Amino acid sequence: MSNNEKIKIKPGTLLYPLPAVMVTAGNAEKKNIITIAWTGIINSDPAILYISVRKSRYSHAMISENGEFVINLTTEKLARATDFAGVRSGRNIDKVGELGLTLIPGVTNDTPMIAESPINLECKVLEVREYPTHDMFIAEVVDAHISAEFVDENGSYDFGRMNLIAFNHGGYYGLDDQDMGRFGFSVMKEKTKRRKEKEARGAKRQQSRGRRGSIKKRNDGIKATSNINKRKNYK
């Protein structure tokens, strides 16, 4: 069998990998978290995306009634919570309490956000499309939030340090931060390529200096505490 030979298989939803996100639904009084992998971008300006939710899901009614939800991106640290929120129903347990997650109020929506998530997208439902197994909630992103630790001094977002995860045919996988090329790299001029490489090296040096500064500050604090304790012992 050659490497290019194809085998016909049954048509199915073999579109992988997909983002594994935790979606919060409801409000401060009645809320739930559901894990969704069937989600994606529809339009850029205004920012419009969708989530597909089974009609039987506990969160389906909340999203339908309130007309809003929040997409919370997930990380390697949140992998267990992401899986748990997708296999346990909020009808039977308090998933937020069970997982020890921190919910914070939305800014535009009544639906709360997950504080531990690096990025939170507050969404308002524009349209619902019904299908046999799932309903597609098409929504506009009306507000967005990012954890401050992932924003550098130039206002750039450091997605590499977020350690985001993806869902791939039944499994959760971390994303290798090895950059195979930025958007447009295949047609980039050599001069532009050299400039961008120089900028990347400068950014890495800046991050390294920042880390060294943090370590020095921490060590100085330890030394100061040690000196205070020594003086106390001499008294």
Which residue blocks in 44-163 are alpha helix, DSSP H?
58-66, 79-87, 95-99
Three-state DSSP class for residue 72: strand
The pLDDT tens digits of the residues spanning 24-53 come to 999 989 999 999 999 999 999 999 999 999
- Residues pairing with 52 in the sheet: 136
* 7 within domain boundaries: no
Domain boundary among 174, 206, 225: 174
Instruction: Tell me: pLDDT of 17 over 60.
Output: yes
Q: Is 22 left (phi over 0), alpha (psi -120 to 50) or beta?
A: beta
Interval 100-150: pLDDT, tens: 999 999 999 999 999 999 999 999 999 999 999 999 999 999 999 999 999
Q: Is 83 helix (H, G, I), strand (E, B) or coil?
A: helix
- According to DSSP, residue 161 is labeled G
Confidence of residue 211 (pLDDT cuts 50, 70, 90): low
pLDDT digits (tens, 9 = 90+) for 62-87: 999 999 999 999 999 999 999 999 99
Provide the β-strand partners of residue 40.
Answer: 50
Q: Could you tell me the residue range of the domain that residue 133 belongs to?
A: 18-174
Same domain, residue pair 206 and 137: no
Q: Are residues 167 and 193 in the same domain?
A: no
Please state the domain count of the chain: 2
Q: Are residues 45 and 160 in the same domain?
A: yes
